[in-house]
């Protein structure tokens, strides 16, 4: 069968509808599991969370929300192309008369909808259970001060960029590993980060040598800490901190935000398109 290589919005809608109808049981099961898990955790945390003067600040729970969001972002996105691990579903995926762009875009949109709508809806309902138990069973009060957490340099935009970066990493990884994709992608990404750290340590030690405060005293691609001579009566060495130039930092941030994330999404598309040719 000659595949369609052009993008058609109508055909994309039909394929999207077909994917939902074919997998609605799995999607409902996954959404129900997230909702049940969020409600259960909200109920348990309501009894375990330490209250200060009978008040619970929701801003203190934001780190927990961020960890849950990042974990489920990886878990959901890693399963984007899990059906390609089975021969029959693999053949069915490539033989359906829709372009690869439409097929990849369908999985892309479904994963983002799951993360930004269903996951956050489940967490919101879990917070409602948490607040109900705290208010009615523990005679406490929940203070809605979440915006205070994002008043500093780390805001909603930074959290969104982190989520999209993780989504891009696992979306690309899902085209490389079809079975047990989440642990494989996580392990592979951890090894990659470790390699980047080793390269950074190698270059900083070459550039600064024995002046390094410790051989590992640097934050990769951001900061280096070196020894500073102090008066003899002090009895120990001081520390100098060198930051990368501001323009370099701006280039790195721009690259990460606007080039790296779309590039990984594009690579995922070409990986699947390459599988079609094979």
Element (H, E) at 277: helix 261-277
Instruction: Name 131's Cβ contacts closer than 8 Å, sequence gap at least 6.
Output: 46, 142
pLDDT number for residue 255: 85
As given in the structure block, the two tokens for residue 31 are 């959404």
Q: Is the sign of the CA dihedral 267, 273, 277, 278 positive or negative? A: positive
pLDDT of residue 151: 76
Give the range of the structural domain holding residue 217, as residue numbers without chain letter. Answer: 197-244
Q: Do both 127 and 66 map to the same domain?
A: yes
In a domain, 192, yes or no: no
**Does 139 share its domain with 44?**
yes
pLDDT band at 44 (very low <50, low <70, confident <90, very high): confident
* Confidence category of residue 108, pLDDT binned at 50, 70, 90: very high
What does the pLDDT look like over 53-68, one tens digit per residue? 567 778 888 888 899 8
The conformational region for residue 54 under phi > 0 = left, psi -120 to 50 = alpha, else beta, is left
The rounded distance, in Å, linking the Cα atoms of 54 and 150 is 24
What local confidence, expressed as pLDDT, does residue 133 receive?
Answer: 87
Q: What is the pLDDT of residue 232?
A: 55
Residue 144 and residue 206 in one domain? no
End-to-end CA distance of the chain: 14
| Count of Cβ atoms closer than 10 Å to residue 70 Cβ | 17
Overall number of domains in the chain:
2
Q: Verify that 35 and 162 share a domain, yes or no.
A: yes
Mean residue pLDDT across the chain: 82
> Are 149 and 28 contained in the same domain?
yes
Using DSSP's 3-state secondary structure scheme, residue 86 falls into coil
| pLDDT above 70 for 71 | yes
Tell me the C-alpha distance between 31 and 75, whole Å: 13
Same structural domain, 155 and 44? yes
Q: Is 27 within a domain?
A: yes
Q: In whole angstroms, what separates CA 54 from the centre of its chain?
A: 34
146-193 pLDDT per residue, tens:
787 777 667 788 889 989 999 999 999 988 888 888 899 999 989 998
Answer for the pair 11, 4: CB distance below 8 angstroms, yes or no.
yes
154 and 37 part of one domain:
yes
pLDDT greater than 60 at residue 23: yes
* Chain segment 203-261, per-residue pLDDT in tens: 777 777 667 666 666 777 766 767 666 555 555 566 667 676 777 778 877 887 888 89
Same domain? 159 vs 91: yes
For tokens 């995922």, the residue is 268
In a domain, 1, yes or no: no
Candidates 127, 153, 154; CA nearest to 57 is 127
φ, ψ dihedrals at 231, nearest 5°? -55, 150
How many angstroms separate the CA atoms of 113 and 68, rounded?
Answer: 16
Helices (H) and strands (E) in the chain, counts: 10, 5
The torsion region of residue 53 among left (phi > 0), alpha (psi -120 to 50) and beta comes to: left
Band of residue 3 on the pLDDT scale cut at 50, 70, 90: low
The answer, yes or no, to whether residue 2 has pLDDT greater than 50, is: no
Indicate whether 186 belongs to any domain: no
55-57 and 141-143 as β-strands: parallel, antiparallel, unpaired?
Answer: parallel
Shared domain check, 93 and 78:
yes
Q: 111 and 228, same structural domain?
A: no
Helix 100-113 and helix 156-173, axial crossing angle in degrees, nearest 10: 140
The model carries a pTM of 0.83
For β-strands 218-219 and 55-57, DSSP reports them as: unpaired
Angle at 104 between CA 17 and CA 28, to 5 degrees: 45
Looking at the structure, tell me whether residues 155 and 239 fall in a common domain: no
């Amino acid at each position: 069968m000659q595949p369609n290589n052009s993008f058609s919005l109508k055909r994309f809608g039909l394929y999207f509808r077909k994917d939902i109808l074919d997998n609605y049981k799995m999607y409902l099961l996954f959404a129900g599991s997230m909702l049940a898990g969020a409600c259960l955790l909200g109920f348990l945390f309501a009894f375990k969370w330490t209250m200060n003067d009978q008040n619970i600040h929701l801003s203190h729970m934001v780190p927990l929300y961020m960890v849950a969001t990042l974990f489920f972002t990886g878990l959901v996105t890693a399963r984007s192309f899990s059906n390609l691990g089975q021969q029959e579903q693999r053949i069915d995926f490539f033989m359906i008369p829709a372009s690869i762009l439409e097929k990849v875009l369908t999985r892309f949109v479904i994963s983002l909808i799951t993360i930004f709508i269903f996951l956050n809806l489940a967490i919101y309902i879990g917070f409602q259970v948490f607040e109900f138990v705290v208010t009615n069973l523990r005679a406490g009060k929940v203070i809605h001060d979440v915006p205070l957490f994002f008043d500093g340099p780390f805001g909603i935009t930074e959290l969104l960029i982190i989520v999209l970066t993780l989504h891009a990493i696992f979306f690309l990884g899902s085209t490389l590993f079809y079975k047990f994709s989440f642990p494989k992608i996580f392990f592979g990404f951890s090894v990659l980060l470790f390699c980047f750290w080793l390269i950074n340590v190698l270059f900083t030690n070459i550039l600064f040598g024995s002046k390094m405060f410790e051989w590992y005293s640097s934050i990769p691609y951001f900061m280096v800490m070196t020894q500073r001579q102090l008066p003899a009566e002090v009895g120990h060495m001081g520390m100098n901190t060198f930051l990368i130039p501001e323009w370099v930092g701006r280039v790195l941030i721009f690259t990460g935000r606007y080039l790296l994330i779309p590039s990984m999404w594009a690579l995922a598309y070409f990986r699947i398109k390459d599988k079609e040719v094979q």
